[in-house]
A and B are shown apart, each in its own frame.
Chain A
């Protein structure tokens, strides 16, 4: 993946966050994606969200598989380690990184081919394990780098750039996640940064796996009339189920929340996320109702967006396996080796 470094010089008057860093400090190399690619807008939203929550860049690890989406990890957060692995295997690599160092904030950028075809088995089990990670699927319904084959998320009837309609049922990562006990499910649209940024900020505070499906149109191979993953279709059919006001973890703000129609989601670090339900009665904590709503919305041809479902109560992988909450990679060797005297006692003689 070609990448062109940006000059690190910045204007002294640029606004800075709590760490004294400008938004530009959260950027990466220049994108080499097609002009107008939805993925670049997702990258911009990630930069904004991480800057606003003031995550120290070096405490983030960027992970990806293979595909256009995978390239984007080079385009943000140059101060973070990045790992662009092999096709479909981002989840196992992330599991290893998270296992080794639980202090790191993992951000995985995947695509519909990477996550819903070749890597779907790993996604399924990552959801089950509830590893702490932000997992973004840049979903455009098409294989871009191999020039336009429909992917597993392409809707039945949605046509490829060559005019061939999809005939096989699509995989909806949100319904998949819901059935597996996912703890944070959100859908965004690359064309709506105002909605995506607070979703991403809420995801940074989630203790487990935050799975975010972002409809991110492919301008080269899937933005035509007849596609259900085009800018136009998504704009026309986007139904915001919730709007998200990210609330900083400051106690004084908490008392201000609670009007009817608003769901407060308290995350493990005390952060509260306020999700305002737009359709009357939508409750992002009611798993069965969310599932029914999403299925009906899809049947109506709607693209339901917003924070769709959150369950902050389920334990994370480290808690499930009863592993110390410190980075295993940093444990001193002396604490790990039982020593010669212990080995003397081993074995029958």
Chain B
């Protein structure tokens, strides 16, 4: 792909429209901007307009640059936008670069308390100066408040500039500070200061602004990690073990909070699940495997470095056939990498986690709603196939606010606990052998400890035969591992089907997964405007279902759009039988959520090259 500097590509950006705009807020982390940013996003959402929020933040507690981006799209595009129409430039460290990215004709709101240093050489943007720090210093006496409320001042100004309904923001502030009235009053004052200043000094609203719609009915705002945790609650998980790691930590924070509410034994008030904060990721996956072996639905949440540490035990669970659910919220690797940045670079490490011949079942949720659904499916698949299931989301899905359809639950759902024999069945059969009598999918019945002496067996990660006995015999060894391969292949019929959007006559296919979905769908529209008819397919599970290969075969050329350097998804497709001649790559791996423009540019460049 070609990496175009923001300023250059800005010229190509569309003209401003109502309900089609991007707002970028540049601040310093640790200054408390997130609640103000959140207020703006939620206010737009409550006006019925499709919106998305992306937090691009540093791996740091305080003092480094951080951005919050709000994409407003009446057309429903939720991918990150490349060039903001309005920049709130609160961070002098990054101001030059931030201003350079603004769309020509766009606006920059800045704190004019201190004289403006070079704001970039831009004659084509409008500077809107507000003496934010000075007004806060005059209005508030508490030094901490003077800093915090600066965020609320710009939120007030943005509300006026973008035409956000002030009644909605007022309601949101009331809701947030219902229990802290004094703080609520300070927030309302700060908000008013910003709003009034903007109305008095600038033409409000700006040409690009919002107007109420009715497009968010039946939707909610949620991040993927919260939805994942909720899915685990609904799936009936009773054991969770974890080691804190960005960006997955909020999965367990949310699970703990939900469990506190809905997992109380009514008689005793004691918890009906155990959450173990382990000493490391080896211990977390070990605990999950032990619990799964003993019959509990158990899970862990981690990210790349944690997944690396779990390898040996994931191999154990694969070979001894123990259900386990792992949520890998991927971040930018290798090594520590960029912990708060997003990537899809754990695909191969997850698919083949551990030494020896191993292959795992993977699920790729594309948004928080799928995080919820796939969490439940992950437990079903893990117990059905008696094997680890790894659910791969990423920082973008896990930690950003997405607008998704309200989560639904079917009360007739019954968990698939897989083939588990009880005491009566085992005793009636007279004889039980762990890995004998596999079904058509290669799954043999297991038993749980504590059931019956007749159900006992010996689980070993060393070579074993179908009777679960130790073996070094080539035929006995192969019999078991060949069945494991059959079992894995069978899972291709059980993982979620890909989401395919096809139109007649399209010869180009865009293939993606996870958080790549919104940008790729938008790119399809951009390509159509350029005369290229393309279909798109978002993969949702591995091993790949048949439909994946039919799509690839049905197009003259496909691009696999993924967020890693080494084309890992393409590798996995090739390894699974796809032909390499007609499969190209669009690799976007800088660590920030991808944009449709990057995808369509890369596709156009490659198509042109192919024509030459």
Contacts and interface: CB of A to CB of B under 8 A. Distances in A.
Interface of A: 1-3, 56-59, 61, 73-74, 78-86, 89, 91-101, 103-104, 121-122, 124-125, 129, 317-318, 321-325, 327-331, 333, 335-340, 342-344, 346-349
Contacts of A330: 295
A338 B456 contact: no
Nearest to A83: B459
Interface in B297-332: 298, 312-313, 316
A331 B409 contact: no
Contacts of B410: 340
Given A100-B295, A348-B220, A78 B236 contact: no
A95 B283 contact: yes
A96 B286 contact: yes
Contacts of A347: 220-222, 406-407
A124 B278 CA distance: 11
13 contacts: A79-B456, A92-B241, A94-B290, A99-B241, A100-B294, A100-B296, A101-B296, A104-B294, A121-B283, A322-B270, A323-B272, A328-B274, A337-B233
B55 to A, nearest CB: 17
Given A1-B470, A340-B409, A81 B459 contact: yes
A3 B469 contact: yes
Name the residue in B275, B293, B415 with the highest tally of chain A Cβ atoms < 10 Å from its Cβ: B293
Given A324-B272, A329-B238, A340-B410, A99 B290 contact: yes
B449 A101 contact: yes
Contact of A336 (B263, B276, B448): B263
A95 B220 contact: no
Contacts, number: 238
A80 B272 contact: no
B575 interface: no
Nearest to B452: A58
Given A97-B293, A348-B42, A85 B316 contact: yes
B272 A336 contact: yes
Interface in B360-410: 406-410
Contacts of B217: 349
B262 A342 contact: yes
Nearest to A63: B290
B453 interface: yes
Nearest to A65: B461
Contact of A343 (B316, B409, B462): B409
B313 A324 contact: no
A250 to B, nearest CB: 26
A125 B234 contact: no
The 9 closest A-B pairs by CB, nearest first: A96-B290, A92-B286, A347-B220, A79-B453, A329-B295, A100-B296, A81-B449, A96-B291, A100-B294
B101 interface: no
A93 B290 contact: yes
B279 A103 contact: no
Given A321-B274, A328-B273, A333-B236, A84 B290 contact: no
Contact of A95 (B219, B276, B292): B276
A84 B272 contact: no
B405 to A, nearest CB: 10
Nearest to A343: B409
B230 interface: yes
Given A3-B469, A348-B220, A336 B236 contact: yes
B458 A82 contact: yes
Contact of B293 (A2, A96, A121): A96
Contacts of A328: 238-239, 272-274, 291, 296
B271 A100 contact: no
B533 to A, nearest CB: 36
B239 A92 contact: no
A75 B268 CA distance: 41
Contacts of A325: 270
Contacts of B455: 58, 81
Contacts of A318: 274
Contacts of B282: 89, 92, 122
A84 B410 CA distance: 39
Contact of A58 (B216, B286, B294, B449): B449
Nearest to B237: A336
B436 to A, nearest CB: 16
Interface string B252-275: 000000000011010010111111
Given A85-B286, A100-B295, A80 B469 contact: no
A92 B450 contact: no
B283 A122 contact: yes
A342 B407 CA distance: 11
Contacts of A337: 233-234, 236, 413
Nearest to A348: B221
B286 A84 contact: no
Nearest to B286: A92
Given A97-B293, A122-B283, A331-B272, A339 B411 contact: yes
A315 to B, nearest CB: 13
Contacts of B287: 92-93, 95-96, 99
Contacts of A95: 241, 276, 278, 283, 286-287, 290
Nearest to A61: B449
Name the residue in B294, B414, B448, B456 with the highest tally of chain A Cβ atoms < 10 Å from its Cβ: B294
A61 B289 CA distance: 14
A18 B356 CA distance: 47
A73 to B, nearest CB: 8
A98 B221 CA distance: 38
A60 B286 CA distance: 19
A339 B282 CA distance: 33
Given A99-B287, A339-B409, 8 more contacts: A92-B287, A96-B288, A322-B270, A324-B265, A328-B239, A328-B291, A329-B295, A340-B408
Given A94-B290, A324-B271, A346-B407, A84 B238 contact: no
B456 A78 contact: yes
Contacts of A2: 470
A80 B238 contact: no
B460 to A, nearest CB: 4
Contacts of A91: 283, 286
Contacts of A58: 449-453, 455-456
A86 B220 contact: no
Contacts of B218: 349
Contact of A101 (B42, B265, B295): B295
B457 interface: yes
A219 B182 CA distance: 76
A96 B456 contact: no
B280 interface: yes
Nearest to A73: B458
B462 A84 contact: yes
A90 B236 CA distance: 26
B458 A84 contact: yes
